Structure 1
Amino acid sequence: MLILLSPAKTLDFETPSKIKKSTQPEWIDESVEIAGLLKQETPASLRDLMHVSESLAELNHARFQDWMAPHPKEGSQQAIFAFQGDVYQGLQAEKMTAKQIDVAQEHLRILSGLYGILRPLDRILPYRLEMGTSLPNSRGKDLYAYWREYVTKSVVEQLEKNQSRFLLNLASNEYFRCVDAKSLPTPVIAPAFKEMKNGKYKMITFFAKKARGTMASWVIRNRVKTKAKLIQFAEDDYCYREELSTETVPVFTRG
């Protein structure tokens, strides 16, 4: 199986990683082009481009000015430990054993506006760049145009290498749009997580994001390979609801 996750805006580059092994992002040369375009932006233009506050624009302007490749070990971090948002609270990479991290390295990929696609142990520098950013580049009008061919190629190659029966999409719609799903050699399974609220099951963003990370962690720890095993997911009181599910969207509810 191959699992896709979105990155996170919240970052941690201060906590030392317990894993010394690291790798270089597959498309680092392509990242150089994107970083080069962003280096030319002013804090004010970055604020408008990225739709962020003035302080965040200034922070990311400084980050892009300092960005270099290849990344030095000092100041960089492996992606799976650097990202600290809701999804990664569920993933809990810091609690994984070295063997589980090795499994993640083969079966987990993180989509990225700056790097395209990342393996867990790929070293990254601090950044913020949403995949939906409309940044004109050599391949088109936005980051989807730039990354789609590269990301799809990586996903296809890893699906075939892993002899995956399906792609487990736990990324957001914004990020999964950079994958050409029609070119994939396997079906895409995209679980939905819902909570009972006011008598109805609804998707609540915070809980759904955390559940995606929790499922990814559970799949890695249990070496899940089949859909039959996947729908046995029952962490954090979730349970599979066949009557609410479709072939490609298994629904898990709680409450």
Structure 2
Amino acid sequence: MLDQSEPLVDLLSTFSPADLEKLMLISPKLAELNVERFHQWRRPFNIKNAKQSIEAFQGDVYTGLAVENFSDDDFLYAQEHLRILSGLYGVLRPLDLMQPYRLEMGTKLVNEKGATLYAYWGDTITDNLNQQLQRLKSEVLVNLASNEYFKSVKPKKLHADIITPVFKDWKNGDYKVISFFAKKARGQMSAWVLQNRIDSPEALLEFNVDGYVYSASHSDEKSPVFIRKQD
């Protein structure tokens, strides 16, 4: 979706470090770094100026994804079945090249299509997912994105049942979503689905990585809950 990414880069290239600091609520140092990144953004992408997206992203979700354990076949399977939502790139496949950037999907960036990135991307992300669902002849999408990013998808226009797993840890006498652990678990489930070629909602319930197990009593049909008690 680089044709859609480029106008965003052009817009953000007009921002000063102070502008970017205010827009993204980041430190002066990070603002300067990302102003430089937007100024250096160039097409075409190649292996000298870009990285494959699955190798480029960092954070708790990607720690859980642990791509260092993927085989070549796992990467190829992921290319067909995993999609990464991005504020700048819209939808990325794992092996797609990308240049570094910072642009959270929830950023209130006034642009030619509205006041937010949700307005900018409109139906584009949903349409892309529908095309791939059709190619795979799949009627199920497993949503392991954060709420901020999945808001860029329009469920009523998506031609699939959406399954949104939830991960809860035992704390202070109850099972609760703890952000750090839940993020990592979303990455772990992504890896587990890809490496085990999981292809049905029923098989998804067998997930049992890092102490998590499915709890029917906490779940409903579209939101299976996986719970864990740690010592």
Question: Normalising by structure 2, what TM-score?
Answer: 0.97
Kindly indicate whether the alpha-carbon contact (under 8 Å) linking 1:231 and 1:250 is maintained by their aligned counterparts in 2: yes
User: What displacement does 1:70 show?
Assistant: 1.8
Give the 5 Å matches for 1:160-171.
160-171=134-145
Is contact 1:194–1:204 with CA below 8 Å preserved after alignment? Answer: yes
**Aligned sequence identity (%):** 50
**1:67-118: CA deviations, max 9, x gaps?**
1122232131000011121011111112100101000000000000010010
Tell whether the 8 Å contact from 1:165 to 1:226 is kept in structure 2 after alignment. Answer: no
Kept after mapping to 1: 8 A contact 2:140/2:162: yes
Alpha-carbon deviation of 1:164? Answer: 1.6
**Which ranges in structure 2 are unaligned for 5 or more consecutive residues?**
none
Deviation (angstroms), 1:197: 0.5
Aligned to 2:210: 236
Match of 2:176 among 198, 202, 223: 202
Q: Secondary structure at the match of 2:84?
A: strand
Aligned to 2:133: 159
| Alpha-carbon displacement from aligned partner over 1:182-209 (angstroms, at most 9, x marks no partner) | 0011111000000001110011111100
SS at match of 2:102: coil
Structure 1 unmatched runs, 5+? 1-26
2:34 to 52, 55, 60: 60
**Equivalent position of 2:96 in the other structure:** 122
1:136 CA drift (Å): 1.4
Match of 1:45 among 4, 19, 34: 19
- The 8 Å contact of residues 78 and 121 in structure 1, kept in 2 or not, is answered as yes
Superposition pairs for residues 108-147 of structure 1, below 5 Å?
108-147=82-121
Which residue of the partner structure matches residue 249 of structure 1? Answer: 223
User: RMSD of the alignment, in Å?
Assistant: 0.8
Deviations 1:211-254 (A, max 9, x none): 00000000001111111100010011100000100111000001
The amino acid of 2:80's aligned partner reads: E
How far does residue 138 in structure 1 lie from its aligned partner after superposition?
1.8
Q: Contact between 2:139 and 2:159, CA under 8 Å: does it hold in 1?
A: no
Moved over 4 A (4+): none
Shift of 1:148: 2.8
TM-score by length of 1: 0.88
- Larger RCO of the pair (alpha carbons < 8 Å, separation 6+): 1
